[in-house]
Amino acid sequence: MAIIGRGAFGEVRVCREKETGEIVAVKKMKKDEMFKKNQIMHVRAEKEILKLSKSRWIVGLRYSFQDDSYLYLVMDYSIGGDFMSLLMKKDILNEEESKFYTAELVLAVEAVHNLNCIHRDIKPDNLLIDRNGHIQLSDFGLSKQSVNTYYYNNHFLG
């Protein structure tokens, strides 16, 4: 099916599951490129974070698998595309839209922090729009999981 994104190790395609007929996004990553660039831990981190999350603000991972050459992540498909495409289409967001998406981004970042994780690559391309017009964070390849829960448990507030 159609390619909807390209990254450092591969591509993301829109596909249809054979058994259910549902539309999904499949991220196909070249293993040899991951090894060459010493990025195995980043890919593992992305998979683990997506697997841990049950948040509506983070794109859902359905399952993963691999063959000799590729690692595949099968994720929910966000029919609204990415936020960059929305910005290019609309050119300027009105005040109401700006407030809406800013509030949703805060909730998405909070969901990531609740997983003791820091995303480290938040940009319009990594914000997806679901069927209801809400954002979801994607692409956790540069994220870090924290072992220090001090910040995330809001102890700094008091």
Dump pLDDT digits (tens) for 26-68: 999 999 988 887 878 888 888 989 999 999 999 999 999 999 9
Is 67 a residue of the active site? Answer: no
Query: Distance between CA atoms of 62 and 52, rounded to whole angstroms?
Result: 11
Q: End-to-end CA distance of the chain, in Å?
A: 52
pLDDT grade for 154, boundaries at 50, 70 and 90: low
- Span 86-103, average pLDDT: 96
Which is the catalytic residue, given 32, 67, 121, 139? Answer: 121
Q: Which of 129-133, 135-139, 143-147 has the lowest mean pLDDT?
A: 143-147
Q: Provide the pairing of β-strand 23-30 with 10-16.
A: antiparallel
Alpha helices in 24-154 (DSSP H): 31-36, 40-52, 83-90, 95-114
The alpha carbon dihedral of 57, 59, 62, 65 has a sign of negative
CATH for the stretch 3-157: 1.10.510.10
pLDDT at 141: 85
Q: Where are the domains of the chain?
A: 3-157
